[in-house]
């Protein structure tokens, strides 16, 4: 057990000082909304940190209250005093890992997740036997009978998030270079992500097609790994640095003088998952103590853009067609690492508003986390499930016919939440809707007399 002196946190630039305990953060804090305790709010955790810094409290004694934090950063957006709680929690999490305050089962589960999720080949090997299970009658029976609960809440939560797995989940299948289909306007690299390429491979495919149709040449380094988002959000600094180095090296191997993708530099490095984008934009911080990697991490991070952010800046050039023969209404779910972590709100709305016949709306509590938060919905399944249920109710209340989300974790969480809803909504990435609109997919499938005009499009999203 660590002593109070050993568990002090040397915060940078007195990050706790600006907090005046006004409470503006409480209404936006996801953990506080569910647990209702001051100790599980940003204000309460900052109070703990001040006590730890003063040597009055052992960090190990309050570790559970920091583990209940989703790291959604909604409090950073809400704070009128400019408290950088995101930086505070980033300092605390590595210390919690060092203190070994979690149970043996919790430590084993975390080790297993960090050994699998950031490594697509390992995850594919594990999931291969489940190809016939995901989306099958067997999965339906297992869920309805609650058989999966016999394995514990964490394993049950993982099973509940498992989507149907097709052949594209087990191979990337992208060429090193995809040329622009229109006069070239830009040249970019694309980070595929680890979980996204397995559970939502159609999103990356849609991204490549949309970029090419809008005059963008796409470079995709082969054998690229995880960006480190999963481990970074959980304070696993050493593994995050290793993953970041590998990804920077993967791009350096194919782009530059004499390299296979040509000497011409990239205009940007794009990513289609907001959780990944947030971490990629912080490579300067992650690699700052790792010379000479710090020299490569800073320009790499500076060139990262979310694909929506990039397309909104570049402007769409490909003609867009209606998604249906009648108007459609879409509700936008803003992922936390998009709206709070990166400050991106206008770009997805600007792009989707260009699709003819598509109207956009937002839920009442747009800034509140859905409960995904990286692997939070696995580590804290009860809290996450309640947040997911509340979020799906909020989204459904907008009377939209489809939901849009730009983060794979959010998409899986929402798809799970909608399973119990009276009117479940199909969930799409913005790039998928743009892809359908550019290609005119599904236009003949819709008619005013259909009872569920979006259902066929939802099915098509898995087969394109």
Please report, for the domain that includes residue 409, its CATH number: 3.40.50
Same domain, 58 and 88: yes
| Residue 460 structure tokens | 């098509």
Please say whether the dihedral angle defined by the alpha carbons of residues 52, 56, 57 and 58, taken in this order, is positive or negative.
positive
Provide the token pair at 36.
């209702």
CB 289: neighbour CB atoms within 10 A?
10
Residues 6+ away with beta carbon under 8 Å from 157 = 377, 378, 381, 384, 385
Question: pLDDT category, 295, cuts 50, 70, 90?
Answer: confident
CA 154 to chain centre: 19
pLDDT at 449: 35
Domain boundary among 314, 347, 376: 314
The three-point CA angle 4-9-11 to 5° equals 155
336 and 305 within one domain: no
List 305's β-bridge partners, or say none: 270
Do residues 188 and 299 share a domain? yes
The per-residue DSSP string of 254-316 comes to: HSSTT-TT-SSPPSEEEES-HHHHHHHTTHHHHTTTSTTHHHHHHHHHHTEEEHHHHHHHH--
Region of residue 360 (left: phi > 0; alpha: psi -120 to 50; beta: else): beta
Per-residue pLDDT for 16 more than 50?
yes
- Asked, for residue 420, whether it belongs to a domain, the answer is yes
Tell me, what's the pLDDT at 421? 76
Quick one: pLDDT at residue 264?
87
Whether residue 291 sits in one domain with residue 335: no
Mean pLDDT throughout 47-57?
A: 89
Please check whether residue 186 is in contact with residue 314, taking contact to mean a CB–CB distance below 8 angstroms: yes
Q: Which helix (H) or strand (E) holds 330?
A: strand 328-333
Is residue 317 within a helix (H) or strand (E), and if so which, with residue range?
A: none
What's the pLDDT tens digit per position in 325-350?
Answer: 889 999 999 999 999 999 999 999 99
Whole-Å CA distances, 127 to 57, 110, 114, 122, 165: 44, 18, 16, 9, 9
| Residue 179: closest CA among 220, 210, 215 | 215
- Enclosing domain of residue 30: 12-99
Helix/strand/coil for 62: helix
Residue 158 pLDDT: 84
Please compute the mean of the pLDDT values over residues 372-399 and round it to a whole number. Answer: 94
- pLDDT exceeds cutoff 70 at 446: no
The per-residue pLDDT for range 305-317, each reduced to its tens digit, is 999 999 999 999 9
- Per the domain annotation, does 180 fall within a domain? yes
Q: Same domain for 220 and 306?
A: yes
Q: Which are the contacts of 365, defined by CB distance < 8 A and separation ≥ 6?
A: 390, 391, 394
pTM of the model: 0.89
* Among candidate residues 45, 64, 99, the one where a domain is terminated: 99
Does a structural domain hold residue 114? no
pLDDT at 232 over 80: yes
Domain holding 72: CATH number? 1.10.1060.10
Same domain, 368 and 453: yes
Neighbours of 346 (CB within 10 A): 11
Domain count, the chain: 3
Locate tokens 């359908």: which residue? 436
Query: With pLDDT > 70 as the criterion, what percentage of the chain qualifies?
Result: 91
**What is the token pair recorded at 306?**
């979310």
The pairing of strands 402-405 and 328-333 is parallel
Burial tier of 371 (Cβ tally within 10 Å: 0-12, 13-18, 19+): buried
Residue 188 lies in a domain: yes
Q: Which residues contact 28 (CB under 8 A, 6 or more apart)?
A: 74, 75, 77, 78, 367, 368
* Mean pLDDT, the chain, integer: 87
Q: Please check whether residues 75 and 184 belong to one and the same domain.
A: no
- For the record, the structure tokens of 53 come out as 């810094």
Residue 7 has pLDDT above 70, yes or no: no
How high is the pLDDT of residue 164?
84
Could you say which of 261, 290, 314 is where a domain stops?
314
Residue 132: inside a domain, yes or no? Answer: no
- Categorize the per-residue pLDDT at 456 as very low, low, confident or very high, splitting at 50, 70 and 90: very low
As given in the structure block, the two tokens for residue 61 are 């004694």
Tell whether 184 and 225 lie within a shared domain: yes
pLDDT tens string 87-142:
899 999 999 998 888 889 999 999 999 999 999 999 999 888 887 777 777 777 77
Asked if residue 255 belongs to a domain, the reply is yes
Whether pLDDT at 171 is above 90: no
Let me know whether 306 and 392 are in one domain: no
Which of 40-49, 126-135, 352-361, 384-393 has the lowest average pLDDT?
126-135
Lowest pLDDT segment from 194-203, 224-233, 234-243, 414-423: 414-423
Q: What's the average model confidence in pLDDT over 237-260? A: 90
- Residue 240 contacts residue 374 (beta carbons within 8 Å): no
């Amino acid at each position: 057990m660590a002593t109070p002196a050993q568990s002090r946190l040397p915060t940078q630039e007195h990050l706790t000082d600006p907090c005046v305990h006004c409470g503006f953060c409480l209404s936006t804090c996801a953990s506080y909304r569910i647990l209702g305790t001051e100790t599980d709010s940003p204000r309460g955790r900052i109070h703990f940190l001040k006590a730890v810094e003063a040597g009055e409290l052992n960090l190990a004694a309050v570790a559970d209250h920091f583990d209940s934090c989703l790291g959604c950063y909604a409090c950073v957006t809400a704070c009128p005093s400019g408290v950088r709680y995101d930086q505070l929690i980033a300092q605390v999490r590595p210390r919690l890992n060092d203190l070994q305050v979690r149970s043996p089962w919790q430590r084993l589960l975390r080790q297993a997740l960090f050994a699998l999720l950031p490594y697509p080949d390992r995850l594919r090997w594990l999931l291969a036997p489940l190809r016939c299970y995901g989306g099958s009658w067997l999965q339906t029976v297992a869920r309805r009978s609650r058989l999966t609960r016999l394995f514990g809440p964490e394993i049950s939560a993982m099973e509940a998030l498992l989507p149907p797995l097709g052949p594209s989940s087990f191979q990337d299948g992208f060429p090193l270079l995809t040329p622009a289909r229109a006069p070239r306007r830009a040249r970019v690299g694309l980070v595929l992500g680890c979980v996204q390429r397995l559970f939502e491979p159609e999103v990356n495919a849609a991204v490549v097609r949309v970029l090419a149709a809008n005059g963008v040449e796409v470079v995709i380094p082969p054998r690229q790994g995880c960006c480190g988002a999963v481990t970074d959000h959980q304070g696993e600094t050493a593994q995050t640095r290793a993953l970041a180095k590998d990804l920077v090296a993967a791009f350096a191997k194919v782009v530059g003088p004499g390299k296979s993708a040509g000497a011409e530099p990239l205009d940007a490095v794009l990513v289609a998952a907001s959780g990944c984008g947030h971490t990629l934009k912080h490579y300067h911080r992650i690699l700052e103590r790792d010379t000479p990697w710090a020299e490569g991490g800073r320009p790499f991070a500076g060139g990262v853009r979310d694909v929506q952010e990039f397309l909104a800046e570049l402007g769409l050039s490909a003609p867009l067609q209606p998604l249906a023969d009648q108007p459609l209404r879409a509700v936008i779910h803003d992922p936390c690492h998009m709206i709070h972590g990166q400050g991106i709100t206008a770009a997805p709305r600007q792009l989707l508003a260009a699709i003819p016949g598509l109207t956009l709306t937002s839920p009442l509590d747009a800034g509140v986390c859905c409960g995904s938060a990286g692997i939070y919905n696995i580590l804290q399944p009860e809290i996450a499930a309640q947040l997911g249920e509340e979020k799906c109710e909020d989204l459904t209340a907008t009377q939209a016919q489809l939901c849009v989300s730009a983060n794979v974790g959010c998409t899986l969480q929402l798809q799970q939440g909608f399973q119990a809803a009276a009117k479940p909504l199909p969930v799409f990435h913005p790039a998928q809707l743009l892809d359908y609109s550019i290609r005119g997919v599904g236009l003949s499938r819709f008619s005013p007399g259909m009872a569920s005009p979006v259902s066929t499009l939802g099915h098509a999203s898995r087969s394109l």
